[in-house]
Amino acid sequence: MSNFLSSFDISGYGLSAQRTRVDIISSNIANAQTTRTEEGGPYRRKQVIFKAINFNDAINKAINNQTSSLKYEDPLDEGQAGRKVNPAIMSVKVDKISRDDSKPQMKYDPTSPDADSKGYVAYPNINPVIEMADLVEATRSYQANVAAFESAKNMATSAISLLQ
């Protein structure tokens, strides 16, 4: 039964990460024309950075929360001919949200209150086409995690019904 629960956890982490990504992309799209922010200057594009958490790291973190003298090492971690094998990915989490500090797009508009002395206004360096493509990708990843969650739920339900 714990394998089913870990399947739910993995899908849940993926759903949470993709939801954060959709929120950030939506914020980028909504602020694509924002020329003035509280920090000063135009809005800066944000991007979500994910971090994969492998099985060994998750186990060692759980062990370290209980005692610092133990360490888990996967007995199957050695590959053929002594090569290291990548451990299984257990989950993904949002590592950080980075800010794009690239130069803003300068557009000539001397009538704008945000224009500089030469009449140019600094606009965010956001390409709506790229943002929409990223949004579609994040949405599809979210849907894939929902489908995986539903599959795990159906398998757990079938297993429970067999036991009755």
Q: What angle do CA 11, 12, 18 make, to 5 degrees?
A: 90
Q: Is residue 143 a part of any domain in this protein?
A: yes
Please give the tally of structural domains in the chain.
1
pLDDT in tens, 96-145: 999 999 999 999 999 999 999 999 999 999 999 999 999 999 999 999 99
Q: 77 lies in a domain?
A: yes
Q: At how many degrees (to 10) do helices 2-30 and 128-163 cross?
A: 160
In a domain? residue 15: yes
CA–CA separation, 31 and 36 (whole Å): 10
Give me 82's structure tokens.
Answer: 């002594």
Range of the domain at 51: 2-32+46-99+126-163
Q: What is the pLDDT of residue 72?
A: 45
89 or 147, which is more confident: 147
Task: Compute the average pLDDT of residues 74-100.
Answer: 67
The predicted-structure confidence for 31-76, as pLDDT tens digits, reads as follows: 999 999 998 899 999 999 998 887 655 555 655 665 545 454 554 4
The pLDDT assigned to 107 comes to 95
Whether 52 is covered by a domain: the verdict is: yes
In a domain? residue 106: no
Looking at residue 82, its amino acid is G
Please report whether residue 121 resides in a domain.
no
pLDDT score at 4 = 52
114 within some domain: no
Question: Quick check: is 119 in a domain?
Answer: no
* Structure tokens given for 46: 């944000």
